[in-house]
Structure formats: C-alpha cells, structure tokens
Amino acid sequence: MANNSEINSNNVVWHKATVTRERREQQNGHRSVSLWFTGLSGSGKSTLAHAVEERLHQQGCRTFVFDGDNVRHGLCGDLTFKQEDRSENIRRISEMIKLFLEAGVISLSAFISPLRIDRQKVRELIGDGNFFEIYCECPLEVCEERDVKGLYKKARRGEIKNYTGISAPYEEPLNPGLKVNTSKQSLDDCVELILTTLAEKGVRINSNCKEIDS
C-alpha cells in the first residue's frame, strides 16, 4: 500500500490547462461540488446517492457516483479492510474527487468512512467549500434488519473481522452539512431535502442546467 508520504515523483510539474474549472462549470451550468454520504452499512447511502444523481442528471447536470463497492473492484482493489487500508481507500477517492471537481462534475461519494479524522482529511484535501457531508442516520438494528448483503450476520458470527458497527467503531459526524434519517424519512423526502439544500447553496449558476429544486 502506498500513501502520500511514500510517493516520490521527481521532476514533475503540474500542468495548468487553458480550459479551467470555472469555464467548465459555466458550460455545465452548475458548480462542481462533492456530496459525501456517510453512515453505517445498510443506512441507504448508495441508494440515496444514486437517487440524487438520477434527479440531477434529469435536470441536465454533470454527475458521477463513487460507490464504495465499485471502487474496490478496481482503483482500490488491492486494499484490505484493515484501518490503515480503509484510510488509504478514502485518500485515493479524495484525490479522484479533486480531479472531478476540476472537470466541473458534481461527485456523489457513498462510503461508510467511519472515522471523523478520515472525513476531515477529505475536507482538507479538496477544500472546505467543495465538501458537503451528508450523514445518513439509521439505527444499527434497522441496518441489521435490512442486511442486504448478509454481512452483519457474518460479522455477528465472527466470520468478518473489524466490521463497522459490530467489531469496529463508527464515529457520527459532529456537524454534518445535512443529516437525513433514512429509517424515518422516505427516499423521496431525503432526495428533495438534498436538492433543496443544493439550490440554497447556489449550485446552479446559469440556464444551461435546469433549476435544482423540488
């Protein structure tokens, strides 16, 4: 596993493109931003991220979802679920998000990302103004009832080590940009709340992208 301190790329200079982030955003009709969905496995992060993306796409916005499982099929396929590898997983995604921000894209990232320090590192790396943390609040017992992948059962039997919520901690965000209760609020209600919040934050900048509202 390689982390930032181990990377030694000598004699390289960042190339400044003539097509800037601002020009791409103007063409797209909206600002680029990172929507970071965090919560326990089974809390509905991926479902909500994809539902929000669908609405934004229908409104003409440039979007992409970074899904935790999908990323581990390729970019982070060499990483385990030990804590140091989980932190490296988040770091790599953060670097990808930086590039997508420059591309003028709204990125939606669905990761458990259990530790506050790792989520704070994302915020620091991509910039506070680019990072919008969405906490998918859901009681552990509800997540276990859903248990779509059967992973909680395996964790309870001791077949999976370091499983968040069972044998590894989840640290709730202290001050998220938005908190949605996915055990009490409907999917549609959560989507509308997020879209309304984006509209209030002025993500839309011109008529190329339709209104981002409910």
φ, ψ dihedrals at 108, nearest 5°: -120, 115
Bridge partners (DSSP) of residue 107 are 34, 64
Q: Check if 113 is active-site.
A: yes
6, pLDDT greater than 70: no
pTM: 0.88
66, pLDDT greater than 50: yes
Segment 107-166, tens digit of pLDDT: 999 999 999 999 999 999 999 999 999 999 999 999 999 988 899 999 999 999 989 999
Do 107 and 34 meet the contact criterion of CB atoms below 8 Å apart? yes
* Sign of the C-alpha dihedral computed for residues 172, 101, 193 and 66 taken in this order: negative
- Domains (range + CATH), the chain: 20-200 (3.40.50.300)
Q: Quote the CA–CA distance of 173 and 37 in Å, as a whole number.
A: 11
The active-site residue out of 34, 41, 46, 113 is: 113
